Amino acid sequence: MRENKERIYLSSPHMSGLEQQYINEAFESNWIAPLGPNVDHFEAELAKYVGSQGAVALSSGTAAIHLALKLLDVKENDIVFCSSLTFSASANPILYEKASPVFIDSEPESWNMSPKALERAFEDAIKEGKLPKAVVVVNLYGQSADMDPILKICNHYKVPVIEDAAESLGASYKQKASGTLGRFGIYSFNGNKIITTSGGGMLVSDDLEALEKARFWATQSRDPARHYQHSEIGYNYRLSNVLAGIGRAQLQVLEDRVKARRAVFERYYEAFSPIEGIEFMPEAPFGKHNRWLTTLTMDEKKCGIHIHNVIDTLSADNIEARPVWKPMHLQPLFKNYKYFAHEEKKSVSDQLFETGICLPSGSNLTLEDQTRVIEKLHSLLVNK
Ligand SMILES: *Cc1c(COP(=O)(O)O)cnc(C)c1O
């Protein structure tokens, strides 16, 4: 019986049906060669949606972070501050440039970068005589970080911010689109994100000159010449015209996707918020969460079960659930870099990793699927 139940994924691609038209157009006009009209339109449409002056469509969100760091002149031996509670793609590009990350803890209110920890990291940097070149602020699970205090601190030290909004397209901070508050913002269209091109990313900014430079680097840094001439290192980072077509269609249904994910959250919230020991990731008053993934913490003492047991049991029932991101300061790859906790002796992200779980949250989750997850999880919490 069990084995026959269809797998319920954490977050699977959700096509709208509109994509095929754009793909067909690309095929009929033979715009398969990487760039083409879908790329230009997708950039313009996304920039308009988020309210930025411009956008560059790229092969991934990771590529967008890499180019943003290069635009801020991050080089060997430089320091870059970065949220610790995130996916490794937020921090890997810092290593591509042989710079050193310094990781910043989360605050409990939003699970995102703690302004208190950030301030202490800056004080330490001043003491060491070396400020960071950039700060990568992650908007986790679809919620903006508290950008006003973060920007206030960064502006004070004159250090620019890159917003890693890979998970927060469609979310907002004080009426502004998440991803548009820093010098640069990046989005991801990987298969598990709120909208997808199967793979892809976008770099946004009001600095059009910088975006033009990113376009140049992303297309192999070809100098203007008849022959192939190169004065700078180049990358093959552009999004293909076919995939940009998928993105144009997905962007049209983004608002529906946010609504659907928020509805999924609401159902989980209704089912589990009354249970002692369960706390959902809060929606901070400063913005709108897109609820990309519904995440909650379980206090083992009160719930009588550890998240690892919950994940294993759900998995045996063909339901995918996962712990929240393992913080970067706990990763073997990054173990030699500095970390600043929310309070001197209290790391919020360690605690969230110990107790936090992500539940299936796709916008294409059926009511039956969700009922299956809720009933299974409920039985674990009640029959412990
Ligand atoms: C997915 C993700 C990325 C990377 O995006 P890709 O398009 O997969 O390269 C970066 N940061 C965060 C927080 C992400 O969730």
> What does the pLDDT look like over 266-320, one tens digit per residue?
999 999 999 999 999 999 999 999 999 999 999 999 999 999 999 999 999 999 9
* pTM greater than 0.95 (yes/no): yes
pLDDT digits (tens, 9 = 90+) for 189-228: 999 999 999 999 999 999 999 999 999 999 999 999 999 9
Q: Which atom of ligand 1 is nearest to the CA of 63?
A: 9
Best mutation site among 67, 69, 90, 139 for ligand 1 pocket (most ligand atoms within 8 Å of CB): 90
How many angstroms is it from 47 CA to the middle of ligand 1? Answer: 19
Contact 85/353 with Cβ under 8 angstroms? yes
- Ligand 1, atom 14, lies closest to the CA of 166
Domains by residue range for the chain, with CATH: 19-254 (3.40.640.10), 255-382 (3.90.1150.10)
Average pLDDT over residues 234-256: 97
Looking at residue 26, its pLDDT comes to 87
Ligand 1 atom closest to the Cα of residue 65 is 10
Ligand 1 site residues, Cβ closer than 6 angstroms = 60-62, 86-87, 89-90, 138, 164, 166-167, 188, 190, 201
The answer on pLDDT for 1 being more than 50 is no
